[in-house]
Amino acid sequence: MLPIIDLHCDTIHALVAGERSGNLRESDAHVDLRWMIEAGNVTTCFALFVDKLAHASPWRRAEQLYAHFSKEMQEESAHIVQVCYPNEQGNKTLQQAILSVEELGILEGNLARVATLASWGVRLATLTWNHENELGYPHHMKGGLKPFGHEVVEALEENRILVDVSHLNDEGFFSVAEMARAPFIASHSNARALTNHSRNLSDEMIKTLADKGGVIGLNFCPSFLSEDWGHSSIEAMVAHAMHIHRVGGSSVLALGTDFDGISGELEVAHYPELAKLYDALLKAGLSNQDLEKMWYGNAFRVLSEAP
């Protein structure tokens, strides 16, 4: 079985918010240790996701999520370890967890908190979620990066945290592309040419991201894959992956499932079921080498080398 790197899941938020019951060892979530162990060698990017409008202090909420994540890592240390760089422990018997942030509105305008996130081991962070914040504007709004957004991008790179443009709007995307000194990523986004959703990337954005050495994590969300908002199909996943491959090349494709942050009927609902997607992509024309890069190689590169 190939190693797997998943650039985005919302499992920690789902467990803390009570949207899923159980814990990281065993739950009714799409991601838990049972599924990771069955799939073999999995590195999952667990997002500290905060809806900034739902909490009086987004930063305090992020601290609560981080405390829960740390508790899970301690209690399940026989099976999973937090890493900043994949395979840095050199122990393939352990599953690996990488910490990410979804919504840098949690900074509450305090630039020094970027260094705090780095001390937690955060390795990638989206500048926005679905609301305007101090950095810029989300995918469905107009407006470029704000001055604080420019400062944060610089601070992220200085602290070896990947800039994640999923959820960011088009103007913000190109602002990041212009100023970024290192590869940046879209951890969980698809192709707008196939599904005209503002959360997806245009062909120009795909090319730009590829030219910068970044990666795009294929998102399993039904509404980003097709007009059938209740069903996430392998057929639609294949179509988006093949389009991104044609436009950006084999070095830009990765996985960003968005597990436990999406709803609907998922044909790939847990990591072991990725084998079905692998077979479908092989039949569609991707090579085993292409798929090795998509499954882990491309994400491994950016997580290991950048910024």
- Model confidence pLDDT, tens digit, residues 140-159: 999 999 999 999 999 999 99
pLDDT band at 305 (very low <50, low <70, confident <90, very high): confident
Q: Is 145 exposed, middle or buried (0-12, 13-18, 19+ CB in 10 A)?
A: buried
Separation CA 104–CA 109 (nearest Å): 9
pLDDT of residue 202: 98
- The H or E element that residue 243 is part of is helix 234-248
* Residue whose token pair is 């809806």: 51
d(CA 93, CA 72): 18
Mean pLDDT of all residues belonging to the chain: 96
Question: For residues 127 and 243, what is the distance between their CA atoms, to the nearest angstrom?
Answer: 26
Query: Does pLDDT of 87 surpass 90?
Result: no
Q: Please confirm whether the linkage preceding 222 is cis (ω < 30° from 0).
A: no
H/E segment holding residue 60: helix 58-75
pLDDT confidence of residue 88: 56
pLDDT single digits (tens) 184-219: 999 999 999 999 999 999 999 999 999 999 999 999
The H or E element that residue 275 is part of is helix 274-284
Residue extents of the structural domains in the chain? 4-305
| Beta strand extents in the chain (DSSP E only) | 4-9, 42-49, 80-82, 95-102, 122-126, 162-164, 216-218, 231-232, 253-255, 265-266
Question: Token pair for residue 305?
Answer: 């080398």
Regarding the domain delimited by 4-305, which CATH topology (the fold level of the hierarchy) does it fall under? TIM Barrel (3.20.20)
Predicted TM-score (pTM) of the model is 0.97
Q: Could you read off the pLDDT of 230-267 as tens digits, one per residue?
A: 999 999 999 999 999 999 999 999 999 999 999 999 99
